[in-house]
Amino acid sequence: MKKSVIFILIMAMPFIIYAQEKNPTVESTLNIDKAGDYNDYIIKHWKKASMEFHRAADKFNQPIVKAAFLSELKTLKKTAKQSLDSINVLNVYKDNDAGLKLQTTELLKFYINCAGKVYPEIVEKITAPKPDYDALQAILDKQNNREKELNALFLEAQTNFAELYAIDLK
């Protein structure tokens, strides 16, 4: 029995090593040494999550199909989490860019919270027999305002980074 377990572990070792090399959540750092590439990397990962977030948020302007909407929120949460993991392994550019990375992670955490907690609660309340539409609108307004604040901080951090490293933002 002992020999079988050891044999299985030895046979599985290459797969375990390969999975660790391919998994961005493993303790590692991605070093990008050009400011433009650093900015583009962050924007690429933020944009994926942002597009999913806005697509889901726009669904509140349509009749809610509970199961489909909850499934869409799972996709949003997964996409935002993947983006956050990708940003978390990124180095801080020349030890000088806590702002852009920090603001991006804060925005992605907001998306994850909306997808995993806030929006599912809204869906439950809106599909209840007698929804309180005023209370629901207040929750949505609060979330919209928070997203605007976080977006403004994100854009300010990106603008500061671009000015510091003379990047032409498109």
pTM here is 0.79
Average pLDDT over residues 13-39: 61
What's the confidence (pLDDT) of residue 97? Answer: 65
Average pLDDT over residues 86-106: 85
What is the SS3 assignment for 30? Answer: strand
What's the confidence (pLDDT) of residue 26? Answer: 42
Residue with tokens 């032409």: 168
What's the confidence (pLDDT) of residue 42? Answer: 94
pLDDT of 107 strictly over 80: yes
- How far apart, in Å, are the Cα atoms of 126 and each of 16, 114, 137? 45, 15, 10
Least confident of 26-35, 43-52, 58-67, 152-161: 26-35
Burial 10-36 (b: 16+ CB within 10 A, else e): eeeeeeeeeeeeeeeeeeeeeeeeebe
| 6 — pLDDT class (breaks 50, 70, 90) | very low
pLDDT of 106 strictly over 50: yes
pLDDT in tens, 38-86: 999 999 999 999 999 999 988 888 888 888 899 999 999 999 999 999 9
